Amino acid sequence: MSFEDRVSDEPTAEDELPVPVISMAIDDVALAALAKPSPEAVYCSVCDTRLDGKTPTSSGLLMWTRGDEVRFDEPPLCHICSTTIGVSAYHRWISGDLEH
C-alpha cells in the first residue's frame, strides 16, 4: 500500500475494524497517571475550612443586580458558618433590624 493510498479520505476495510486497546501500568507513576483526577477541593466561603463531604455542608445565596441583569451566587458553607449566618439573619429579622 502506497503512502497516497493511506492518506486517502475514503474509508477502507482496515478502517472499519475495531482496534484492540490494551493498557497496563508498569510502575507506581504510571498507575497514578491512569487514576481518575480527584475533584478540586471545596472550601467554606467564610472560614476557608475544607469541605470533605463527610460533614454536612450547605450553601449561601447571594443575589445582586447589574443594570437589568439579576445575578445569583451560591457559595459553599460549612455547617458551622451556615448555622451562624442563619441564626444571625433570623435574629435580625425578628428584631426588626433589617433594612427594607
Strand pairing class (76-78; 69-73):
unpaired
Q: Which of 50, 30, 47 is nearest to 39 (CA)?
A: 50
If one counts every other C-beta atom within 10 angstroms of the C-beta of residue 78, the result is: 22
Q: Model's pTM, two decimal places?
A: 0.52
For 47-62, how does the pLDDT look when each residue is reduced to its tens digit (9 = 90+)?
A: 999 888 787 888 888 8
pLDDT digits (tens, 9 = 90+) for 3-50: 555 555 565 655 566 667 666 656 666 666 666 655 678 899 999 998
Question: What would the grid cell of residue 6 be?
Answer: 493511506
Q: Is the separation of the CB atoms in 62 and 45 below 8 Å?
A: no
Tell me what the mean pLDDT of segment 77-81 comes to.
93
User: Which residues have CB under 8 Å from 59's CB, separation 6+?
Assistant: 74, 75, 76, 77, 82
pLDDT of residue 96: 82
Selected residue with higher pLDDT from 16 and 71? 71
User: Distance (Å, rounded) from C-alpha 14 to C-alpha 2?
Assistant: 15
